[in-house]
Structure 1
Amino acid sequence: MSQYAPQLKAFTVLHRATNASQEVTKKQILTSNLNLTEFAVMELLYHKGEQPIQIIGKKVLIASSSITYVVDKLEQKGFVHRKSCANDRRVTYAALTDLGHQQIKAIFPAHEQKIAEIFEILSNEELEILTDLLKRVGHHASQI
Structure 2
Amino acid sequence: MIRVRIVEIAAAEIGVREATGNNDGERVEAYLAYTGLSKGHAWCAAFISWCYGQAGLTEPCNPWSPALFPNARTYCRSNACAHSKIMIKPADVFGIYSHSANRINHVGLVRGIAGKYLLTIEGNVENKVLSKRRHLATVYALANWITHD
TM-score normalized by the length of structure 2: 0.26
Which structure has the larger Rg over C-alpha atoms?
Answer: 1
Relative to its length, the structure with more strand (as a share) is 2
Higher relative contact order (CA 8 A, sep 6+): 2
- TM normalised by structure 1 equals 0.27
